[in-house]
Amino acid sequence: MEQPTFDTFYTLGGEAEALYKDKGSKFLAYGYPVTCEEEIKGRLDALRKRYYDATHHCYAWRLGPKGESFRANDDGEPSSTAGRPILGQMLSREVTDALIVVVRYFGGTKLGVPGLIEAYK
């Protein structure tokens, strides 16, 4: 008789949030365990409504035991400076079934490409 196989993976144990400040900019990070794209859309819509005056709402998500479904979004930041670093952190820790959103309030000083990548990761 063939033994059943079980997929194991890392995900978030619950909702999480963090704050990071750099040169006047404020980055509010939110992490959510998620199970489907509809739930992801709901979380993003809620954050956009709550932080309607923020400069950017950048995010990355992965779904599936091996993270086969994923997306990263820079929301107006220079290409690959926000969503890709967020996704990179999820990949490096093998986290899936999760959504990470970083809400940015621009502080008046440009961080440059390296500074943005560092801030978002």
- The 10s digit of each residue's pLDDT in 30-54 is 999 999 999 999 999 999 999 999 9
pLDDT of residue 90: 96
Give which of 109, 73, 71 is closest to 91, Cα–Cα: 71
Is 24 within a domain? yes
Tokens 């107006």 map to which residue? 76
Give which of 92, 89, 85 is closest to 104, Cα–Cα: 85
pLDDT of residue 97: 96
pLDDT of residue 6: 58
Is 80 exceeded by the pLDDT of residue 86?
yes
Is 3 within a domain? no
How many domains does the structure of the chain reveal?
Answer: 1
Q: Please report, rounded to a whole number, the percentage of residues in the chain having pLDDT higher than 70.
A: 94
Is 54 within a domain? yes
